[in-house]
A and B are shown apart, each in its own frame.
Chain A
């Protein structure tokens, strides 16, 4: 191939449409006569519902229906537990509309459907609910302590899950170690905050029995399966479309949110399309969040810095329900040893119910917490042993010849063993160290301190198990008339650029322009086998499925073209949408001609279609037009199912300046080194990293979902929940390493979440270094807001530090 598309930084196919305002997000889908839904949500964290009076709402002009738990039939149920696990104790999931009691502020109690959203909100305000408020314990450690008020009266201790995993012999390691380092770390709750809130629209055709649902989801296929099961209708009668989706970051892989079943139900009952477009406060009150964990981690090491073992026990806040099982905590627990050999691991967690918004994965999914715990401990260990932070890390890294490195006894979130498949972790830290010029920085830091400027250097390393199964598939067809290539996948996009990277993979196999490969995602009518977009798996799982399918299609093209040109397939090459005889480029057929002739026609309808007609020169007259076992057209379907996660990794380094008066943090440099295996499109990969990093910076310095002691959210809006603007996110230098994954044909690893994972640990490390002259304590929590830094500096002053 003269111009390989794999690896090229080409602009995206999807851009022009989005740039011109021609995107079609759920609320942009024109639905004539659509009714609009609004919810009444609980104002109490815990309360008994004594009575609900909807009469005034129902009588309000413009209202079509008011739903409570009493008139939704079989939907008045606990929603599915998505990812069951044996360690779950009393797993609780939410009901679409509360029955008898509520468990967090924002829980849905009633849904009003009216002519427009304005009217629906008016009517929702007229619903009269009589509550009997109950006492709550909101804060994670308090909720896990004895005497805490229970979220679910029958779940003792608020313990939703209790799980311990062991690798190696941690007791023996701790018995023989020479040095022990203990840290307690805390990571606060944040939220994905996609720019497009969640949205659902549904239309039911009573004549055909077909239900069409547009859902701003990451997983239309499981949504369809679930809706068909819940409503007891044939799967083929349900079509779920995730059209353009304005960001997801995990929040939209949760299913079912109440609206996802109630809106289709209303559309079927009312005989009109129904829409629910979540607004921003509702996204804070009703869409899942993640991050709060408190870790107690201890390292057992030798005096030379070799870490023999780790023991970590942590509390994981799962909110009021646990629909996604232990996924977040399990990923955190299996990532706890980071990129280090640490052969002996004991890790225990408890998932704790709190009367707050439920928790499910948000970009990073437990890894930022694990990375924060282990990396802060490694910094402390280095300081205690008087070792260089980088040298300590390098000493403990899994070595090149250790791969594949199995952590026997640890099961990852896909139910498969934790097995670091490949990498060059030492090479990575060498490259990062060389790039940062640490010695030069230390001189600069010393000089700055003389001018009362406080600079600090921080670093953190991470690993990420990416590309989880079970499988994905792809269907590829070459259009007979145009020769364009159509690719259908079961994935969805929320802006990652799959449509372009999949097109690059196909373009290389079929010799067509990337813009002539049209990728469809997120429509169960186009393709309905697969899981969803999550766990940094699109390029790995779908990418390889697309590749394998394209290889099959290429063989079909060569086979058919060899018959047309009367030469052996091996003598042919594919380029510019043509199949040519090598060395004789004028002997060629176009892909369109190949696709056309592969489909014997009874009726012709255009000039080009005549070549496939019954009396065309190529037609066979002595046997069936289709050979036994052959299929018409050039098309194929194939699948890729990964043997286990493939592990990406990297390191972040930052140089910050901290203003000890204003307690603000300014980035002077931020460097991200990463290895996601072979890179399909470096421009898109860098975009993923920069975006993930910005979310990491939000979590490191600003973003914290705050609840008061009664469980009321205190910052459920963009004014008070501080997401970074362009003024808060630094320019990021990106260093690439490429260790091909041995687990899949393309050699790729996932990159969707990697940018986020190490930021908190790296930033804390840098700020701590900057503020050393003040003798502050170690910074073992994020976000490190100005208030947190101010308090730390105050405590240092009170302690009589210099």
Chain B
């Protein structure tokens, strides 16, 4: 193609902005964000934490699940400004600094509970939160499946994810988990 003079690049959107301060994976940060920016977009595109995925942007698939102030939540249904003052954990926080996988991650690996891996961070964060909040988790087939019922997976058919939940309970020494 012939060389054309490049048109002037636009500078930035004209959205109103607000300053937010929050803790992400243990690190305190302060940023100026667009008031309509989704938390998922903020995490991914402004902080570079691309482990949190966006599958539907209407809160059904669960790919974007992060832990917000101790509760699993949909980052695609949360505005970044709503997270002002919050403590947020994403999938990037799970493995140890030396790369050792978290028990739930290790269980997913052993049980082949992921294929394409796109939905996986959402499942992991939901389950990490479940185990943290539930001293005596229901490890029956129905119990596990109902815990998983907030997340869609199109690859695995779920059975290996169910197995991974049982294996994670073992690795976490949850009472009642077979060993």
Contact = CB atoms under 8 A, between A and B. Distances in A.
B7 A28 contact: no
B110 A496 contact: no
Nearest to B146: A727
Given A116-B13, A718-B152, A732 B110 contact: no
Contact of A195 (B3, B110, B148, B154): B154
A732 B6 CA distance: 58
Given A19-B108, A718-B61, A195 B114 contact: no
A558 B54 CA distance: 49
Contacts of A197: 55
Given A20-B101, A27-B44, A115 B115 contact: no
Interface stretch (A10-18, A459-467, A623-631, A641-649): A10-18
A725 interface: yes
A153 interface: no
B52 interface: yes
A683 B112 contact: yes
A545 interface: no
B117 A18 contact: yes
A195 B61 contact: yes
B156 interface: yes
Chain A, interface residues (CB within 8 Å), range: 35 or more
Contacts of A269: 4
B114 A19 contact: yes
Interface in A661-708: 683-684, 686-687, 689-695
Interface in A302-339: none
Interface in B30-77: 34, 36-37, 44, 48-58, 60-61, 63
B154 A723 contact: yes
A80 interface: no
B141 A731 contact: yes
Contacts of B95: 19-20
B14 A62 contact: yes
A119 B13 contact: yes
A732 B120 contact: no
A96 to B, nearest CB: 17
Secondary structure at the B interface, as helix, strand, loop or mixed, is loop
B117 A115 contact: no
A494 interface: yes
Contacts of B55: 195-197, 246, 280
Interface string B133-151: 0000000010011101111
B53 A280 contact: no
B60 to A, nearest CB: 4
A270 B7 contact: yes
A50 interface: no
A683 B13 CA distance: 49
B60 A719 contact: yes
Interface string A137-174: 00000000000000000000000000000000000000
Interface stretch (B16-24, B86-94, B171-179): B86-94
A496 B63 CA distance: 19
A496 B91 contact: no
Contact of A19 (B1, B120, B156, B157): B120
A390 interface: no
Interface in B94-131: 94-95, 99, 101, 105, 108-110, 112, 114-121, 124
Given A280-B57, A719-B60, A247 B155 contact: yes
Contacts of B105: 16, 19-20
A678 to B, nearest CB: 19
Nearest to B155: A691
Contacts of A718: 56, 58, 60-61, 152
A279 interface: yes
A21 B90 contact: yes
A800 interface: no
Given A22-B51, A118-B15, A495-B155, A247 B92 contact: no
Interface in A188-205: 192-197
B117 A495 contact: yes
Contacts of A21: 49-52, 90-92, 94, 121
Nearest to B6: A271
B25 to A, nearest CB: 11
Contact of B53 (A25, A690, A731): A25
B153 interface: yes
Nearest to B1: A268
A433 B154 CA distance: 30
A195 B146 contact: no
Contacts of B4: 269
A495 B10 contact: no
Contacts of B34: 118
B24 to A, nearest CB: 13
A118 B154 contact: no
A723 B152 CA distance: 8
A206 B90 CA distance: 38
B116 A194 contact: yes
Contacts of B52: 21
Contacts of B110: 11
Contacts of B1: 231, 233, 268
Q: Output the residue of A64, A195, A693 with the most chain B CB within 10 A.
A: A195
Interface in A14-66: 14-16, 18-25, 27-28, 30, 33, 35, 61-65
A115 B152 contact: no
A272 interface: yes
Nearest to B117: A18
A555 B114 CA distance: 36
B51 A23 contact: yes
A694 B159 CA distance: 10
A726 B109 CA distance: 19
A717 interface: yes
A245 interface: yes
B158 A694 contact: yes
Most chain B beta-carbon neighbours within 10 Å: one of A15, A495, A690, A732: A15
Contact of B154 (A194, A233, A717): A194
A20 B60 CA distance: 23
Given A15-B114, A20-B95, A64-B7, A717 B56 contact: yes
A270 B109 CA distance: 43
Nearest to B118: A246
A304 B121 CA distance: 56
Contact of B116 (A245, A692, A731): A245
B161 interface: yes
A249 interface: yes
Interface string A269-292: 111100000011000000000000
Contacts of B114: 15, 18-19, 495
A490 interface: no
A196 B7 contact: no
A24 B117 CA distance: 10
Given A11-B109, A16-B101, A195-B152, A270 B159 contact: no
B162 interface: yes
A298 interface: no
Given A21-B49, A268-B1, A269-B4, A62 B13 contact: yes
28 contacts: A12-B109, A14-B117, A18-B117, A18-B120, A21-B91, A24-B50, A27-B50, A28-B44, A33-B9, A62-B11, A118-B15, A119-B13, A195-B154, A246-B117, A247-B115, A270-B7, A270-B9, A280-B56, A495-B118, A687-B160, A693-B157, A695-B154, A717-B60, A718-B60, A726-B162, A729-B157, A729-B158, A729-B159
Given A16-B99, A16-B101, 11 more contacts: A11-B110, A35-B9, A61-B14, A269-B4, A497-B115, A687-B156, A691-B155, A719-B58, A725-B149, A725-B150, A725-B151
Interface of B: 1, 3-4, 6-7, 9-15, 34, 36-37, 44, 48-58, 60-61, 63, 90-92, 94-95, 99, 101, 105, 108-110, 112, 114-121, 124, 141, 144-146, 148-162
Q: What are the 9 A-B residue pairs with the smallest beta carbon separation, nearest first?
A: A21-B51, A495-B116, A246-B118, A18-B117, A690-B157, A495-B115, A694-B157, A28-B50, A718-B60
